[in-house]
Amino acid sequence: MFKLTTMYRLVDDLDKLDNFFHNTHLQLAEQLPDLLKSEVTRINGKPGSLPSRFHLMYELYFESEEAYLESFATEMGLALVQALTPWEKAKLITWFYGEVFEETAEERASYS
């Protein structure tokens, strides 16, 4: 599995951020071909009850890196990148992609 993660930093105008996320980012991402699933995380803080500099994390899952690349080469994928680029240039988002590895509790127990 392969995913793209976008993390939104805390900003003074959270209404503007939430509006962009719900009305642009989500709308475009949900139309990506070959998107298997997505997850939204509202960030409450860091361990130790410390505040986080992040507000929101959004993860898009694809079968493979090839599926991800093909999806983002479409009109919808290009529109999403174009919409997010000003946020990235303003250092309001951090985004990255990579392979996803999953391990069950049974698999971990077998290592002992």
What does each C-alpha distance from 74 to 24, 29, 69, 70, 101 come to in angstroms?
Answer: 16, 12, 9, 7, 26
pLDDT at 41: 98
pLDDT at 111: 78
Ranges of each domain in the chain:
2-101
The CATH class, in words, for 2-101 is alpha beta
Q: What is the DSSP secondary-structure string of 16-77?
A: HHHHHIIIIIHHHHTT-TT--EEEEEE---BTTTB--SEEEEEEEEESSHHHHHHHHTSHHH
Q: Please identify which residue in the block is written with the tokens 């995380």.
A: 41
Instruction: Give average pLDDT by consecutive 10-residue segment, the chain, 112 residues.
Output: 97 95 97 97 95 97 97 97 96 96 82 74
pTM score, whole prediction: 0.89
pLDDT at 35: 98
pLDDT at 11: 94
